Amino acid sequence: MIFLKFYITTPIYYVNSDPHVGSAYTTIVADIIARYKRLMGYDVFFLTGTDEHGQKILQAATALGKDPQSFCDELAGRFKKLWTKLGITNNGFIRTTDENHMKVVQYFVRKMLQNGDIYKGEYKGWYCVPCETYWNEDEISTERVCPSCGRELKYISEQNYFFKLSKYTGALLDHYRRHPEFVQPDFRRNEMLKILEGGLKDLSITRTTFKWGVPMPDDPEHVIYVWVDALINYISAIGYPSDLENFNRYWPADLHLIGKEINRFHSIVWPAMLMSVGLPLPKVVFAHGWLTVDGQKISKSLGNAIDPTYFVEKYGNDVLRFYLLRDINFGKDGDFSEKNLVNRLNSDLANDYGNLLHRTLAMIEKHYSSTLPAPADSDQIDEKFKEEVQGRIKEYQKLMDEYSLTQAVEKILEVLMLSNRYFDERKPWVLAKQRDFSKLATVLYNVCEALLKVAVMFSPIMPDSSKEVLSRLGFDSQPSKEIFDEWGTLRSPVKITHGKPLFEKKELVSEKKESEPKMENLIDLDEFKKIELRTARVLSAERVPKSDKLVKLILDVGELGQRQIVAGIAKYYEPETLVGKTIIIVANLKPAKLMGVESQGMLLAAKDGVNLRVLTVDGDIAPGATIS
Ligand code: MSP
């Protein structure tokens, strides 16, 4: 017997904030593929987890006044809880703060050192904390914002260890040529080829300005770069190097499923790291597109419009999973909208699927006392129907195998369309009236067999409703690929259960009201007027000694004279970049002392959970101007 294994991974998620429908997307799709492979008889190992080290996580924990480990414990718990709620069937869950993982990272990096692939040097350049990514001067524009996420970059200058990534340019190009399937879809492969053809630069792989990470072997002043740490999860989780039996069973990974923005790490950096220690490369890296919600980039301000739990509770897991595959063309960017979800639910699921099941089972209930009859004679129309259904199933399998998931779903819907057409064409209600029970039996049996096949094709995507359909059809075995191969897998006579509608139609009543965040604590104008806001020109700005948060600013506030303000913005600004800017302050706040330094007011700043930006004015205005 051939041993069929399938090792599939999701990226490990940053735990700086709660998961949203965008992050759930990768995991849901991975779960669909994992379930499909199990259905096809593979021994599947499906891995997900959390990425818990690095500056971004440290900042998020510090901002909440929490110690990073307990912050990560809490967030990792929330990810696990969500995956359970979404019915995710992962076999492993790795956390980069697991002791074993950290040891493996050190072991791996030591091997790279021993192989002469790591050297010490000086890094001077730009860094995006939210993406935990280094950028070369020639990759960024004069605005100095991250080419990937658009947020402000930080200039860093550190003594670092470097990985000789450049050394692997040729070997990677060669691998890409020999394995055209390595990076998918094709247009993503081409993007990577372009980078490779331009030549690679060595990669800084340690940091010294904070401690939240895996210490560099023999040089603990350095922590290992969060991406190097994170990528190693794919092998530490399956036993490298301590349980080589398990490791060799599953490695190389068959599929790293990722989002497009982290393709470079998976398709260039990770394979080069593996080459450095002499391990085989993953078979496929598939980079999917990004979701927007109602046309907008996903951010916390979208309220419950991005909370997967909200959709699961309102529509059920199956509907959310179906919608994500059906409406977002897998591989491309796409828009998630509750309105479209409801439309798909009502038309594809309630009408084309649920209603057909309902009509068919109702007739079996009525004319055959709820017992599925055996088919009798088959004519040309019946044979053509069977053939067409079997053809679509073959196409479905091929499309699933090549990760054309949206197109595979279309094949299932085509089977439903063919079945509805067959039902309408054969007019079973007329056959019943004519008391042609032999023909009626053939028609009803065939529709049930097609519905069984639909349920099995849907089983990786909509596991709950598939289980329900199988049980209503009296099919009590596990769904398996054998059901695809031949016609007539339903036993008869067997008891069927009519049951309630498979999918309830929904109406999206007042969509806006539901998704708009509610404003509480309304105040009246008089209360607002108590706050005296003024413009102020920054004359000087410097860090408060011994504090990594505070900056002391001296301000010109026009008629109010000079003021000294202390603000918690050091993590987001190089203080000197603020000099000369006109900012907004609360001028009538009682003075207070922060780390022993007096603050005579407060500046205004906007925060989105990741970034902080000081409010400035749009154009020239005198310092001390009033604001209303
Ligand atoms: N920690 C890294 C991955 C390390 S893997 C060795 C990371 N984490 S992440 O939490 O920022 O992103 C995890 C996954 O969620 C990525 O595949 C990313 O593409 C996906 N998504 C996050 N927002 C998304 C959308 N709006 N739409 C689709 N997927 C998105 O990167």
What is the full DSSP assignment across 234-294?
A: HHHTTTTTT-HHHHHHHPSPSEEEEEGGGHHIIIIIHHHHHHHHTPPPPS-EEEE--EEET
Q: Spell out the residues 6+ positions from residue 168 whose beta carbon is closer than 8 angstroms to its own.
A: 200, 271, 272, 275, 276
The amino acid at residue 27 is T
Index of the ligand 1 atom closest to the CA of residue 257: 17
Q: Spell out the residues 6+ positions from residue 567 whose beta carbon is closer than 8 angstroms to its own.
A: 550, 551, 553, 599, 602, 603, 605, 614
* Residue having the nearest C-alpha atom to atom 21 of ligand 1: 23
Task: Answer yes or no: is pLDDT of 208 > 90.
Answer: yes
The highest-level CATH class for domain 525-614 is mainly beta
Is 357 within 8 Å of 469 (Cβ atoms)? yes
The Å distance, Cα 26 to ligand 1 centre, comes to 8
pLDDT tens-digit map of 448-466:
999 999 999 999 999 999 9
Is 187 within 8 Å of 286 (Cβ atoms)? no
Question: 612-614 and 118-128: which strand pairing?
Answer: unpaired
Task: Answer yes or no: is pLDDT of 190 > 50.
Answer: yes
| CA separation for the pair 515, 519 (Å, rounded) | 12
For CA atoms 71, 77, 80, 86, give the dihedral sign: negative
Index of the ligand 1 atom closest to the CA of residue 292: 26
pLDDT of residue 625: 94
pLDDT of residue 481: 92
**Tokens 């009502």 belong to residue:** 346
The Å distance, Cα 573 to ligand 1 centre, comes to 26
pLDDT of residue 610: 72
> Ligand 1, residues 12, 18, 23: which to mutate, most atoms within 8 A of Cβ?
23
Task: Answer yes or no: is pLDDT of 231 > 80.
Answer: yes
What 8-state DSSP symbol labels residue 498?
A: -
Task: Answer yes or no: is pLDDT of 103 > 50.
Answer: yes
Q: H/E element holding 526?
A: helix 525-529
Q: What are phi and psi of 474, to 5 degrees?
A: 75, 20
Helices (H) and strands (E) in the chain, counts: 23, 29
Task: Answer yes or no: is pLDDT of 308 > 80.
Answer: yes
CATH 2.40.50.140 residue ranges for the chain: 525-614
| CA separation for the pair 82, 76 (Å, rounded) | 10
Confidence band for 513, pLDDT divided at 50, 70 and 90:
very low
* Residue having the nearest C-alpha atom to atom 30 of ligand 1: 22
pLDDT of residue 201: 94
Task: Supply the Cα-derived Rg of the chain in whole angstroms.
Answer: 30
The Å distance, Cα 496 to ligand 1 centre, comes to 44
| CA separation for the pair 396, 384 (Å, rounded) | 18
Token pair, residue 572, equals 């987001």
Average pLDDT for 104-120: 98
Index of the ligand 1 atom closest to the CA of residue 291: 27
Confidence band for 516, pLDDT divided at 50, 70 and 90:
low
Q: H/E element holding 368?
A: helix 356-368
Q: Indicate the CATH number of 337-485 among 1.10.730.10, 3.40.50.300, 3.80.10.10, 1.10.10.60.
A: 1.10.730.10
Index of the ligand 1 atom closest to the CA of residue 14: 10
| CA separation for the pair 531, 534 (Å, rounded) | 10
Choose among 34, 20, 9: nearest CA to 93. 9
pLDDT of residue 300: 67
Is 49 within 8 Å of 233 (Cβ atoms)? yes
∠ Cα 340 345 346 (to 5°): 100
pLDDT of residue 518: 58
Is 23 within 8 Å of 13 (Cβ atoms)? yes
The Å distance, Cα 332 to ligand 1 centre, comes to 15
Task: Answer yes or no: is pLDDT of 619 > 50.
Answer: yes
Of residues 445 and 152, the one with the higher pLDDT is 445
Task: Answer yes or no: is pLDDT of 232 > 70.
Answer: yes
Token pair, residue 478, equals 């596990």
Taking phi over 0 as left and psi of -120 to 50 as alpha, with beta for the rest, 258 belongs to: beta
What percentage of the chain has pLDDT greater than the value 90? 83
Within 6 A (CB) of ligand 1 lie 11-14, 22-23, 25-26, 51, 230-231, 233, 258-259, 261-262, 290-291, 298
Choose among 190, 188, 191: nearest CA to 333. 188
What is the chain's mean pLDDT, rounded?
94
> Ligand 1, residues 262, 268, 332, 337: which to mutate, most atoms within 8 A of Cβ?
262
Question: What's the burial of 271, exposed, middle or buried (CB within 10 Å: 0-12/13-18/19+)?
Answer: buried
pLDDT of residue 514: 46
The Å distance, Cα 32 to ligand 1 centre, comes to 17
The Å distance, Cα 454 to ligand 1 centre, comes to 32
* Residue having the nearest C-alpha atom to atom 9 of ligand 1: 13
Task: Answer yes or no: is pLDDT of 443 > 90.
Answer: yes
Index of the ligand 1 atom closest to the CA of residue 230: 6
pLDDT of residue 1: 59
Average pLDDT for 63-88: 96
| CA separation for the pair 579, 593 (Å, rounded) | 22
| CA separation for the pair 84, 65 (Å, rounded) | 29
Report how far apart, in Å, the C-alpha atoms of 504 and of each of 315, 316, 500 are: 9, 10, 9
CA 208 from chain center: how many Å? 30
* Residue having the nearest C-alpha atom to atom 5 of ligand 1: 11
SS3 583: strand
Task: Tell if the pTM clears 0.85, that is, is over it.
Answer: no
CATH 1.10.730.10 residue ranges for the chain: 337-485
